[in-house]
């Protein structure tokens, strides 16, 4: 193990120009995770009833502070997914070095362990930087946490790199490196996917029906639990939809496609239909939450402003809503960054095939369109399902409030997310132009 860490330290220091952006993104992800965790601990460590001159009194009471701390912790989910994407693309760029390790006698498990240790070292630099920035912010605001909070801060600085290493190893569990520098991904097992899809659909429909009918029958106390279950089931169902639709679209369009870009994208989807699911997991969950939040926000604001006697401190409610919306937007931005990194990883993985296609005469415009279609085709039905799950949540909330106002703006959220996903995938097109150069065939 010591030898693996020593090799990982050498690799982390000997970063070439082509990999500096990857290590920078990994360190940025660790810095974000550390910042969110430290902020959650700081908010949760404030004792009792206090008066804080920020956020219009939203931080004064323990109940509201607990909700803010929970929101900050939930932001760690897209950050960890982003770190997993960085680990995958890192494995591709280090193929020649890991091939040398295999020729020197290292096993595939050791290669993955060294990659995880290298990610942990890079994340340690990011977490230490995040801790330093957060300490400066505490000094500027004049807030002094208790000693127990400082101990928790130190634990976070250590746990974030360890958690990032675990995520990296998990992300690379299906990557197998050969001594000749070739990387392949083993396909996940099949056979139970259709049964899982039917089971998720049945649970989703049952939960949605209970959520709509329970408020009328007096079981409103179960509504928060049902909302959480519905969001998780919708995210899981949307994730399954990405893989299932990618496999179906790939099979159908491979035999029926007339445009070359559609044919190339369909062949890629049929070859590895669950690659998109790995990339879009956090994004789909954020879409469910985003649709639900947008609808609940519209209903709540209509209820507050439509009362005969509106609340005296309306800024208290609007500040809380705005902070929740900011958290959703931050999670969406991090998820889109993960999608962009995943698209770049997909292009870099297929650089030899892309160079061969370009050498055979395939125009760059066709390859770029195929890259975008590979993201757009399987993501569209999954985003529709995610939007439907979020719509059920805010429609149920509108039924509980009973003010008769049902906003339609949330229904546009899945389409806006789909456009944002295409823009994020388009960031890999400059890399596509570079790796599809026929001169790359000399190095494969």
User: Cα angle vertex 270, ends 268, 276, to 5°?
Assistant: 70
Mean pLDDT of the chain: 77
pLDDT exceeds cutoff 90 at 195: no
CA distance 2 to 174: 24
Q: Which residue has the higher pLDDT, 137 or 313?
A: 137
Percent of the chain surpassing pLDDT 90:
6
CA distance 216 to 212: 8
pLDDT exceeds cutoff 60 at 293: yes
Q: Which residues pair with 177 in a beta bridge?
A: 183
Q: Which residues pair with 175 in a beta bridge?
A: 185
CA distance 84 to 334: 12
pLDDT exceeds cutoff 80 at 90: no
Neighbours of 277 (CB within 10 A): 23
Q: Tell me the pLDDT tens digit for each residue of 27-78.
A: 888 888 898 889 888 888 888 777 766 666 677 777 777 778 877 887 887 8
**pLDDT reported for residue 312:** 62
Spell out the alpha helix ranges (H) of 257-350.
260-271, 275-306, 314-349
Name the band, by pLDDT with cuts 50, 70 and 90, for residue 181.
very low
Name the band, by pLDDT with cuts 50, 70 and 90, for residue 288.
confident
CA distance 143 to 276: 44
Between the CA of residue 49 and those of 45, 67, 293, 302, 315, what are the distances in Å?
Answer: 12, 15, 28, 30, 19
Q: Tell me the pLDDT tens digit for each residue of 219-233.
A: 555 666 666 777 777
Which residue has 């605001």 as its token pair?
A: 141
The answer to whether the CB of 235 falls within 8 A of the CB of 285 is yes
pLDDT exceeds cutoff 90 at 420: yes
**pLDDT reported for residue 426:** 92
Highest averaged pLDDT of the listed ranges 105-114, 163-172, 324-333: 324-333
Q: What mean pLDDT is predicted for residues 284-305?
A: 84
Q: What mean pLDDT is predicted for residues 268-289?
A: 80
Neighbours of 190 (CB within 10 A): 10
Q: Which residue has the higher pLDDT, 93 or 273?
A: 273
Three-state DSSP class for residue 60: coil
Q: Which residue has the higher pLDDT, 12 or 126?
A: 126
User: Cα angle vertex 14, ends 12, 354, to 5°?
Assistant: 90
CA distance 386 to 279: 16
CA distance 31 to 12: 17
CA distance 371 to 432: 9
pLDDT exceeds cutoff 50 at 316: yes
CA distance 163 to 132: 20
What's the pTM value of the predicted model, to 2 decimals? 0.77
pLDDT exceeds cutoff 60 at 268: yes
Burial 11-45 (b: 16+ CB within 10 A, else e): bbeebeeeeeebbebbbbbbbbbbbbbbbbbbbbb
The answer to whether the CB of 155 falls within 8 A of the CB of 40 is no
Rg of the chain taking only CA atoms, in angstroms: 24
**pLDDT reported for residue 217:** 47
Give φ, ψ of 175 to 5 degrees. -90, 125
Residues near 235 by beta carbon (within 8 Å), at least 6 away in sequence: 281, 284, 285, 288, 386, 389
Which residue has 């931005």 as its token pair?
A: 333
The answer to whether the CB of 222 falls within 8 A of the CB of 230 is no
The answer to whether the CB of 59 falls within 8 A of the CB of 43 is yes
Residues in the chain: 444
Which residue has 């002094």 as its token pair?
A: 144
The answer to whether the CB of 235 falls within 8 A of the CB of 280 is no
Q: Which residue has the higher pLDDT, 254 or 109?
A: 254
Q: What mean pLDDT is predicted for residues 331-344?
A: 85
**pLDDT reported for residue 206:** 73
Distance between terminal CA atoms of the chain?
32
Burial 297-320 (b: 16+ CB within 10 A, else e): bbbbbbbeeeeeeeeeeeeebbbb
User: Cα angle vertex 105, ends 101, 111, to 5°?
Assistant: 45
Q: What mean pLDDT is predicted for residues 268-281?
A: 77
Q: Nearest Cα to 318, choosing from 340, 302, 334?
A: 302
CA distance 93 to 25: 14
Give φ, ψ of 183 to 5 degrees. -115, 135
Q: Nearest Cα to 307, choosing from 243, 410, 401, 206?
A: 401
Q: Nearest Cα to 297, choosing from 329, 331, 327, 320?
A: 320
CA pseudo-torsion sign 374, 379, 380, 382: positive
């Amino acid at each position: 193990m010591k030898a693996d860490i020593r090799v990982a330290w050498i690799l982390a220091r000997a970063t070439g120009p082509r990999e500096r952006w990857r290590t920078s993104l990994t360190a940025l992800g660790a810095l974000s995770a550390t910042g969110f965790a430290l902020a959650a601990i700081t908010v949760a460590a404030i004792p009792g009833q206090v008066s804080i001159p920020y956020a219009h009194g939203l931080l004064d009471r323990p109940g509201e502070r607990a909700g803010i701390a929970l929101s900050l912790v939930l932001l760690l989910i897209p950050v960890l997914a982003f770190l997993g994407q960085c680990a995958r693309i890192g494995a591709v760029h280090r193929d020649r070095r890991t091939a040398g390790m295999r020729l020197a006698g290292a096993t595939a498990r050791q290669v993955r362990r060294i990659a995880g240790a290298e990610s942990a070292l890079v994340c340690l630099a990011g977490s230490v930087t995040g801790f330093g920035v957060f300490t400066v912010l505490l000094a500027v605001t004049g807030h002094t946490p208790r000693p127990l909070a400082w101990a928790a801060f130190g634990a976070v600085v250590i746990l974030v790199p360890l958690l990032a290493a675990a995520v990296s190893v998990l992300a690379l569990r299906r990557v197998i490196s050969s001594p000749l520098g070739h990387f392949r991904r083993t396909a996940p097992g099949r056979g139970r996917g259709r049964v899982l899809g039917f089971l998720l659909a049945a649970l989703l429909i049952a939960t949605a029906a209970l959520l709509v009918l329970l408020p009328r029958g007096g079981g409103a106390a179960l509504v928060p639990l049902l909302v959480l279950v519905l969001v998780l089931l919708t995210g899981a169902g949307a994730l399954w939809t990405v893989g299932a639709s990618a496999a179906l679209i790939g099979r159908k369009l491979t035999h029926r496609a007339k445009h070359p870009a559609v044919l190339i994208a369909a062949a890629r989807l049929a070859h590895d239909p669950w690659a998109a699911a790995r990339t879009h997991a956090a994004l789909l969950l954020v879409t469910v939450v985003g649709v639900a939040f947008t609808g609940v926000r519209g209903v709540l604001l209509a209820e507050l402003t439509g009362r005969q006697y509106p609340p005296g401190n309306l800024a208290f409610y609007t500040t809380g809503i705005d902070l929740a919306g900011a958290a959703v937007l931050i999670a969406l931005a991090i998820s889109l960054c993960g999608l962009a990194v995943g698209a770049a990883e997909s292009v870099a993985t297929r650089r030899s095939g892309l160079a061969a296609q370009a050498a055979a005469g395939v125009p760059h415009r066709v390859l770029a369109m195929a890259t975008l279609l590979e993201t757009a085709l399987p993501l569209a039905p999954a985003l529709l399902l995610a939007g439907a799950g979020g719509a059920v949540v805010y429609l149920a909330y509108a039924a509980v409030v009973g003010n008769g106002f049902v906003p339609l703006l949330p229904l546009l959220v899945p389409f806006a997310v789909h456009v944002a996903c295409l823009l994020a995938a388009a960031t890999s097109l400059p890399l596509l132009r570079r790796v599809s150069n026929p001169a790359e065939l000399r190095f494969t």
